[in-house]
Amino acid sequence: MKRPACNPAEHSHHRRAFLQSTLGGTALTASGLGGVLMGRSAIADQIKGNRRQVLNVFLHGGVSQLETWDPKPNTDTGGPFRAIPTSVPGTHICELLPHTAKQMHRLSLVRSLNTHNSDHARGVVEMTTGHKRIPGTDYPHLGAVAAKALTPDAFTLPGHILVRQTAGKRNVESEHHKAAWLGARYASMAIYDAKPPKIGDEKALAPDADQSRNAFRQRVNERFARGRRTADTEAYNFSFEQAQGLVEQRDVFDITKESKADQARYGTSQFGTHCLLARRLLENGIPYVQVNHADYDTHHENFNFHIEQLGEFDLPFATLISDLADRGLLDHTLICVMSEFGRTPKVNVRYGRDHWGTAWSVAFGGCGIQPGAVVGKTNANGTEVTDRQVDHGNVFNTILEAVGVDPGGEFDIGGRQFPIADPSKSSISELLV
């Protein structure tokens, strides 16, 4: 089914994934790594310790709250779908999410977002930075903040990974995963279509030639840095060290290493493979993983498109939640399912719902979150928030506090103090354990 588009300008963004492009053009081998690499047993020990991680599932385009978390059946705005009971007595969600309904005792809902926004790019930026979008001002993406705050010093894998669809498909690009003043080290590494990143051919150079080349590069870098050391040169050097680690640990990104049974459980859809990859990344200690699922911009045929999109989303997502719980990962992994905004309660003449930031929902779960909670509510037909109104800043602060990061704290960057989150915002206290 071909989807009618918004104004093309709303979806036109530059593509930049600093670490991916750097690593993709570097032919390195695993020789001469010395003490750079961190053993898998050490990673496992850290995961069992006081580790905290974030999984953010971003439903790009603006998923409808009425067809997901806050259904309004039998009203003038409710649409054709029923509300079904969940594993939490008294909590109902849309019938398009039957598998997720069985996992709601591990999740919680916030049904009272008012972000005063109906623009795609602005919504993505505000939901993932916790700040109002100001022209000419960049704030660090949630993934960069999480990577900075949660990545252990000895950890050699990237701390901020974006799993998304093939470049060129309609989606908000990894351009928005900026690290801003935190530095390029904390920008995202993008993985497309669950394919391992291209980190060089280990057969391209003989081990001794590769070792000599890297030794020469290090000498030149050290000489250059003696008089010109900057955050950019530090990030550049770090990217080479990280590339060396990735060569040794490339299997972390390879879902073909998972059992055939697990691959079958997650299904053959692209989103299913992305969810399985997310599980694998979290098992290997990645501090922040974001999985994108696109095409929720339903100005036309809203109900048909949500049948398709949520049909693809529901089972893999529910399987992922169940697996994280069964493997003990949910205890230290914060989960959020968000979008840039919701969709209008009023159905338009094309049987679609338009952009709507006035009254919509997000889902949480895992580490630091009260399971089975429902915070806030909207009126009978979903046109306004009637209890506990919150916004993007409250969501951002809640995510950080749930994983043990003080949103009122500061990062020291080159001797300057930068707030971790918007100091004018508070967390959603009812949601936190």
User: Dihedral sign, CA of 366, 364, 133, 425?
Assistant: negative
Sequence-ordered list of residues with C-beta below 8 angstroms from that of 64, at least 6 positions apart, any chain:
296, 298, 302, 306, 342, 343, 353
pLDDT of residue 102: 98
Domain presence at residue 68? yes
Domain presence at residue 218? no
pLDDT of residue 248: 72
Domain presence at residue 147? yes
Domain presence at residue 203? no
Domain presence at residue 53? yes
Q: How many helices and strands (H and E) does the chain possess? A: 11, 16
Domain presence at residue 97? yes
How do 377-378 and 385-387 pair as beta strands? antiparallel
CA 199 to chain centroid, in Å, comes to 22
User: For the segment 84-141, what is each residue's pLDDT rounded down to a tens digit?
Assistant: 999 999 999 999 999 999 999 999 999 999 999 999 999 999 999 999 998 888 999 9
DSSP-derived 3-state class of residue 355? strand
pLDDT of residue 203: 57
Domain presence at residue 245? yes
Q: Which domain holds residue 85?
A: 39-195+228-431
pLDDT of residue 208: 76
pLDDT of residue 42: 46
- Residue among 10, 47, 31, 35 at smallest CA distance from 125: 10
Q: Give the global pTM.
A: 0.83
pLDDT of residue 135: 85
How do 53-59 and 342-343 pair as beta strands? unpaired
Q: How many domains does the chain have?
A: 1
> Which residue ranges in the chain fall short of pLDDT 50?
8-48, 169-173
CATH of the domain at 120: 3.40.720.10
Domain presence at residue 398? yes
